[in-house]
Amino acid sequence: MSTNPLRPRPFRQPLSGVLVLALGGSVAGCEKSNPTPPPAAAPEAKAPAVPSEVTLLVTGGAFGQLQPAEGKGGAAELLGRWVADEKHCPGPVREGQATCADAGTLALATGDHWNGPAISSFFLGTPTAEVMGRLGYAASALGNHELAFGKEAFLKNRSAGGFPFLAANLKVKDPSLAGDLSMPAFQLFERRGLKIGVVGLASEKTVRTAMPGRADGLEVTGYEEALSTAVPEARKAGADVVVVLADECVTDLQPAVAKHPEWKLALVAGGRCAQPVELKDGATSFVSLDRGFGKYLRAHVTFDPAKPAGEKLTGLDTRIVEVSGGTPDPETAQLVGKWKTQLDEVLGQQIGFSKAGIAQASPQMAKWVAGSVREVLGTDAAILNSGGIRGDLPAGAVTRGSIYSVMPFENTLLVVKLKGEDLARQLANPNALVSGFTAAGKGKFKDAKGKALDPKKEYTVATVEYLYFGGDGFEFEKLAPEPTETGMAWQTPVVEWTKQQASSDKKPLEKLVK
């Protein structure tokens, strides 16, 4: 039978009173028994604080080596590795700050960047400067080749890179240069709350071996003297950690650093060492770096942000990392490709004409190549190596590319002063490609005017880095430890001289070489 929801239901006695009494009795019972409350839970053990971390990424001098060599290195490959493995922010760095939030890396370099392959040196270093800006470099020590292309080129490249050059030991004596060439001794960078003081040191050769006029008005002081001022100043500015970048072998700096434990240097990174160096002396790590982008130093810094300023460092581990494989950074690859295209276009420009060509091993080749070097640099002699000439100059149009095909190796020209008796031994080397002197009997030579070489007279000689440092048995470094560094690729004088001759079908190049 269906139930009508509106139908009145029978009255029922409420049970609320019974419930209240029952509950009341229950409450009264609780009050009377008053049991001991359970013990309070023990506080959870506080996990130890995870140390904060920052990674310093340090390379040696770039030396214009923007492209990979034998499957290693390359600027695009380096940045690809940094982004993937180190969580690095690509550049440019502006006023010391990275472009991404919570940046935990700081990219630094030891100096000497513009010279090297034609892709950089042909354009006076600007391609390397732009690429280093993309890689996100925050600072570099001043390398002794930075001024090799002159002051204006240096200023242009510094602006293109967007990072400062540091040189605590460089003094500007000429007031007219102070605005352009005064370099900060150090710079302070902050990453994840850690303030890192970066001090730079220029090589003592920066002024001593520069081409005339390139370093006039500049003076380089001693390393210890410079650090004795710069390190305390960096600490006073708030640095929690101080590192040194030097265009110098780190073992040459080690004695001075050892005398000053109060500096508390965490890292000294440099180049110019004959052998790789990676050592620790006290609390300071010393690491030397190779040229180019084939390797980099990963310096992993741990610190405690709760500690007072200057005492936050808890650890620093260093490791040299090789750059091979991986995915290149597309934007850097595009930038390098742009300069490579421009180089190819420039090297294709005709600068002369040869009707018969010039054979690789001919006396005429020696006269053309070594003679161009001697004439453009204005030296008494030029000594190159025959092994550096790798092909004939073909008949027809002579282009810049023709010269780079004949002389494909990367070599920079130096000028040295030698006594005649020492010069005679270098001229007698069977690998010598000579201009300015010819043989005049066993062990004897005469100059271009037919005058006998004077064993007591001092002569100026142009040569290349490869020979200067002992290649093919030459003795230049031992005989002249302080060469003048031109910063000029060895192909450059040959290009300049050939272009000046305005050779043509009626006046072919081989007829102009004497």
Torsion on CA atoms 375, 379, 380, 383, rounded to nearest 10? -80
Query: CB count, 10 Å around CB of 285?
Result: 21
Q: Are residues 366 and 315 in the same domain?
A: no
HSE, CB side, 13 Å, CA atoms: give it for residue 374.
22
pLDDT of residue 385: 94
Query: For the chain, how big is the Rg over CA atoms in Å?
Result: 35
Query: In order along the chain (514 residues), what is the average pLDDT of each group of 10 residues?
Result: 38 36 36 53 52 94 92 95 97 90 95 89 94 98 90 95 98 86 96 97 86 83 98 97 98 97 98 91 96 96 93 96 94 98 93 96 96 98 94 94 89 95 97 95 91 97 94 94 91 96 96 94
250 phi and psi angles, rounded to 5 deg: -65, -25
CA–CA separation, 453 and 437 (whole Å):
8
Q: Are residues 293 and 146 in the same domain?
A: yes
CA–CA separation, 154 and 148 (whole Å):
8
Q: Are strands 105-109 and 137-141 parallel, antiparallel or unpaired?
A: parallel
User: End-to-end CA distance of the chain, in Å?
Assistant: 133
pLDDT of residue 204: 86
Last residue of a domain, one of 283, 310, 340: 340
Q: Are residues 446 and 410 in the same domain?
A: yes
Determine, yes or no, domain membership for 208: yes
415: left (phi over 0), alpha (psi -120 to 50) or beta: beta
pLDDT of residue 37: 59
Last residue of a domain, one of 340, 373, 402: 340
Query: CB count, 10 Å around CB of 257?
Result: 21
Are the CB atoms for 170 and 246 separated by under 8 Å?
Answer: no
Query: CB count, 10 Å around CB of 447?
Result: 16
Determine, yes or no, domain membership for 7: no
Q: Are residues 190 and 244 in the same domain?
A: yes
Closest CA to 367 of 345, 341, 393: 393
What's the distance, CA 438 to chain centroid?
Answer: 42
Q: Are residues 254 and 359 in the same domain?
A: no
CA–CA separation, 394 and 387 (whole Å):
18
Q: Are residues 152 and 57 in the same domain?
A: yes
Determine, yes or no, domain membership for 36: no
pLDDT of residue 216: 85
Q: Are residues 282 and 411 in the same domain?
A: no
Q: Are strands 52-59 and 105-109 parallel, antiparallel or unpaired?
A: parallel
* pTM, to two decimals: 0.78
Q: Are residues 320 and 372 in the same domain?
A: no
CA distances in angstroms from 337 to 67, 76, 340, listed in the order given:
9, 10, 5
Please classify residue 342 by burial: count the beta carbons closer than 10 Å to its beta carbon, then call 0-12 exposed, 13-18 middle and 19+ buried.
middle
Determine, yes or no, domain membership for 322: yes
Determine, yes or no, domain membership for 214: yes
What CATH number does the domain containing 218 carry?
3.60.21.10
The amino acid at residue 416 is V
Closest CA to 61 of 224, 234, 271, 207: 271
Last residue of a domain, one of 288, 316, 340: 340
Q: Are residues 133 and 272 in the same domain?
A: yes
Determine, yes or no, domain membership for 444: yes
What CATH number does the domain containing 465 carry?
3.90.780.10
Number of domains comprising the chain: 2
CA–CA separation, 106 and 55 (whole Å):
6
- DSSP structure string for 408-422: -S--EEEEEEEEHHH
HSE, CB side, 13 Å, CA atoms: give it for residue 232.
7
CA–CA separation, 293 and 65 (whole Å):
7
Instruction: Give the residue numbers spanning the domain of 489.
Output: 349-512
Query: CB count, 10 Å around CB of 50?
Result: 7
Q: Are residues 384 and 268 in the same domain?
A: no
